[in-house]
Structure 1
């Protein structure tokens, strides 16, 4: 038998070794991810002088005033408004339209090509969409300013599309227009692709344009789309310091329709086992009680590791040693619906249909279950899992078919040129911001372009607080002129370094 003194000594040695390992990894990551110094210091970048924020805000306001609303019921779309938006771009940005090659594909696709000086360099592609969701008011959800007024009041521009995402399109057009006034030509080719139906899956806009690029044999060094922002006051451990969440990965999406048959008849004589509604409801309960397991995706791990130099030493040790503390992080993330969605595949029952009248037994019941799929999971895995959880052969399910389903998008490498360039520019335009990789849990137009590049970056340079995020697809969507000014400076520097 091993002496107690030897056991104690070995345990002490193991404890010391563990502590040294934790501290070593902490110090190593603190050095590896130290903040970038601004290349300009307190000096202004030469392109800053080009910014006319009042004029830019007024031009964006004119785009906001055109209600290019995408309705799920596509027959409700007013195509004349989308044409009017395209014509307004020509009016607002004459140099762009006189210099760049423009193509209109269908009712919703706009492609611009800015010829560069060096045809040997791989081009880059910038994406945005100019459709918006409806801005209907319900109950207490009333707009302070009309949603399509484009009103500028006390340094704030109001309206649907200010955050999602006509501002991104305007940043890109304004930047090109301003640089053209200086006779500037990019070193490489720059492409823009603007879709008009992203809010209803992008099948007529982005998917069409991506297929055209593919047919032409085009590929891009990187592609930049919407997806994440500069988050302020959204991560408590940063104590107010903003974090630029640069989306390098994107969850997949699928909606399943689950259906069960029933025996119709008079409600006074129901079957002993109940109705189709009850059977489906029991299946839904089984699904909702069986959540998908949580895990830290590599992108999310790297995000936390990059926070190491910016948090307390105790928290830094935890973030630097996720090999040990991952269960603790996942437990904490699971307590908030926003962070919980970043560590697991989610499922949400969003539509339930059955029955026609109170005294008639329904012949069928169905529901829609929407999933956002964590990288590492697949649609096939979800189908197999549901069969095991539902445990009822009468409950059938299939792709609902309303939106294109897709598996998660492969993550871009944070060591890639695109991420590094954004990080470098942010060090100058937003010097107090921490640039980190991020997993986008929504769905963007960029998924259609995944075969054209190995670097997709989902980022908009707007600083948003939780209350700002709540206005996206909600009421009182708005953006400050200060935010717009800094975002435009970001794009001017980004383009000038391409």
Structure 2
């Protein structure tokens, strides 16, 4: 997941565990993709059980029954094999070989075909071809923009919209200065009996290999899909996905048309325990994104005769003003975190009473009023607050060229992650007003997001990257829906004690390019063993993967492919 360093959730405590852990430690570990809320100090009284008049709350988080596909002896034998020690040994070998290919992507990579650092992707494609011969003999493979891998398993019923499973081949680079800090070398694929170690083990070669393993086994068992199955593997997700997913999505949309796919499952959120319950939290939304560039132009000169405020001073004042005017927490009706709160109120015995009291009146608030529910929830800490608050972070600053010369041009980049229910345009309006406030004080001209050239004595605002918040995936279970199938499959694998609730991510996966292909996008990591904790070292030292969790993921993909194939989707 792009920029997911602290975004991708991973397994937490078991459903039945009596060991209590701080939710916020868990949330830092799972980092807001599947974030959950828990007040650090619970109310003095135990939240009462649901009363008869709470049926409306319960209905807002209805749980589906575990869903098992109609099987046959060959498929049942396959299910038993996935759970066998033989498969464990084989999947360890496959994962180790995948990890040993250092398919790193770098921010400064040049075009595909010109920059030789892309060539490592040839090795990874060759590994897949050698390791999964049945897939390469049964599915059609297209290579999009050289390294994008698009596998199609044609279904027998062309009227059914296809299922799309996604993952990415690339990994974040390992900094040379950190290699000695790894418990096992970063590209060793070392297996210690429970975990396999190495870069990419949990982000996200586990998903890619798990998908391939499930499909290979289904082919071997004689399964033939009615619904076309597509595997779409990008190669530059860690640097925004433009060359990989950006081209793969165009190929698929051109072929199947707008809303031409039934659903997409990509990497994303997993499971977490809070309020006395364990939830699976498929990401059904993503915050938006905007990078704003601010440039202050003021006169130069010799620093021995400085003005009261030069460009650095004025920029500092503007940055301070920006930080002094943060966005307020607000839970709009389509924010998945609001649905998560409703699920907690409906099903969790330790759901905080303050939040429970605020839930029924939340929708009656006008836009001009403060959002009491959001403000109460935000008290739990920034890791939760920013699931329903636009964030602001000045991240890059430069100005001046010599210690005895006044700076003539000072530049700052400010990153924003835009709340669901708001827009990047709202950010532009607010920044413009703050810039105008400083400009009036120093008699400067403001050029605000209008492509005007910089001029002397001015503040210029530009946009570098912009992305609207993702459309929110429907989560109704009143009929046979993609969310219902995903929920039923997950509860079939992990049991009825596991609750399903919508999740949200603050970062963006490769699905940012697929919005036109389907309304049903799930950012979900099904691998969970009920014991492992933490992010597994994603984007840092000692990345590792629980093999029991990985095997659960293979079971999930196998079951989901069959369940969605048999579903009569509306």
TM-score band by shorter chain is: 0.7 to 0.9
Deviates more, 1:485-494 or 1:321-330: 321-330
1:292 is aligned to 2:353: no
| Alignment partner, residue 266 of structure 2 | 225
| Alignment partner, residue 44 of structure 2 | none
| Deviation of the 1:358 alpha carbon | 2.2
**SS of residue matched to 1:210:** helix
In structure 2, distance between residues paired with 1:23 and 1:189: 46
**Kindly tell me: are residues 27 and 140 of structure 1, through their superposed partners in 2, closer, same or farther at Cα, counting changes over 3 Å?**
farther
- Flag as ranges the 4+ runs of structure 1 deviating above 6 A: none
**Kindly tell me: are residues 183 and 277 of structure 1, through their superposed partners in 2, closer, same or farther at Cα, counting changes over 3 Å?**
same
| Alignment partner, residue 466 of structure 2 | 405
**SS of residue matched to 1:468:** coil
**SS of residue matched to 1:194:** strand
**SS of residue matched to 1:204:** coil
**SS of residue matched to 1:127:** strand
**SS of residue matched to 1:442:** coil
In structure 1, distance between residues paired with 2:482 and 2:349: 30
**SS of residue matched to 1:451:** coil
| Alignment partner, residue 65 of structure 1 | 100
Does the CA-based 8 Å contact 2:281-2:502 persist in structure 1?
yes
| Deviation of the 1:427 alpha carbon | 1.0
Q: What TM-score results when the alignment is normalised by the length of structure 1? A: 0.87
Alignment of 1:160-171 (within 5 A): 160-171=199-210
Q: 1:445 aligns with which of 510, 516, 536?
A: 510
| Alignment partner, residue 471 of structure 1 | 537
| Deviation of the 1:142 alpha carbon | 2.2
Does the CA-based 8 Å contact 1:330-1:343 persist in structure 2?
no
CA RMSD, 1 decimal = 2.6
Instruction: Point out where structure 2 has 5 or more consecutive residues left out of the alignment.
Output: 1-47, 363-370, 440-445, 447-457, 565-570
**SS of residue matched to 1:497:** helix
| Alignment partner, residue 380 of structure 1 | 425
**Kindly tell me: are residues 386 and 303 of structure 1, through their superposed partners in 2, closer, same or farther at Cα, counting changes over 3 Å?**
same
1:122 is aligned to 2:165: no
Does the CA-based 8 Å contact 1:108-1:197 persist in structure 2?
no
Does the CA-based 8 Å contact 1:137-1:143 persist in structure 2?
no
| Deviation of the 1:491 alpha carbon | 0.9
Q: Deviations over 1:197-217 (max 9, x none)?
A: 111111111111111222224
| Deviation of the 1:356 alpha carbon | 2.6
| Deviation of the 1:102 alpha carbon | 0.2
**Kindly tell me: are residues 284 and 77 of structure 1, through their superposed partners in 2, closer, same or farther at Cα, counting changes over 3 Å?**
farther
**Kindly tell me: are residues 71 and 98 of structure 1, through their superposed partners in 2, closer, same or farther at Cα, counting changes over 3 Å?**
same
In structure 2, distance between residues paired with 1:495 and 1:129: 19
| Alignment partner, residue 360 of structure 1 | 405
| Alignment partner, residue 50 of structure 1 | 81
In structure 2, distance between residues paired with 1:313 and 1:86: 48
Q: What TM-score results when the alignment is normalised by the length of structure 2? A: 0.77
Higher relative contact order (CA 8 A, sep 6+): 2
Alignment of 1:22-101 (within 5 A): 23=51, 26-30=54-58, 33=61, 35-38=63-66, 46=76, 47-51=78-82, 52-75=87-110, 78-101=117-140
**Kindly tell me: are residues 378 and 34 of structure 1, through their superposed partners in 2, closer, same or farther at Cα, counting changes over 3 Å?**
closer
Deviates more, 1:186-195 or 1:313-322: 313-322
Q: Deviations over 1:174-226 (max 9, x none)?
A: 11101010111112101111100111111111111111222224410111111
Alignment of 1:95-174 (within 5 A): 95-136=134-175, 138=177, 142-174=181-213
| Deviation of the 1:48 alpha carbon | 2.4
In structure 1, distance between residues paired with 2:150 and 2:376: 45
**SS of residue matched to 2:156:** coil
In structure 2, distance between residues paired with 1:159 and 1:263: 52
**Kindly tell me: are residues 139 and 483 of structure 1, through their superposed partners in 2, closer, same or farther at Cα, counting changes over 3 Å?**
closer
Q: 1:200 aligns with which of 221, 239, 248?
A: 239
Instruction: Point out where structure 1 has 5 or more consecutive residues left out of the alignment.
Output: 1-19
In structure 1, distance between residues paired with 2:58 and 2:235: 43
> Matched residue pairs, number?
466
**SS of residue matched to 2:199:** coil
In structure 1, distance between residues paired with 2:128 and 2:266: 19
Does the CA-based 8 Å contact 2:345-2:351 persist in structure 1?
no
| Alignment partner, residue 304 of structure 1 | 341
| Alignment partner, residue 378 of structure 2 | 333
1:480 is aligned to 2:546: yes
**Kindly tell me: are residues 379 and 39 of structure 1, through their superposed partners in 2, closer, same or farther at Cα, counting changes over 3 Å?**
closer
**SS of residue matched to 1:128:** strand
Query: By percentage of residues, which structure has more helix?
Result: 1
1:245 is aligned to 2:281: yes
Q: 1:425 aligns with which of 484, 489, 499?
A: 489
| Deviation of the 1:169 alpha carbon | 0.9
Does the CA-based 8 Å contact 1:262-1:364 persist in structure 2?
yes
Deviates more, 1:307-316 or 1:59-68: 307-316
| Alignment partner, residue 17 of structure 1 | none
**SS of residue matched to 2:403:** coil
**Kindly tell me: are residues 468 and 189 of structure 1, through their superposed partners in 2, closer, same or farther at Cα, counting changes over 3 Å?**
same
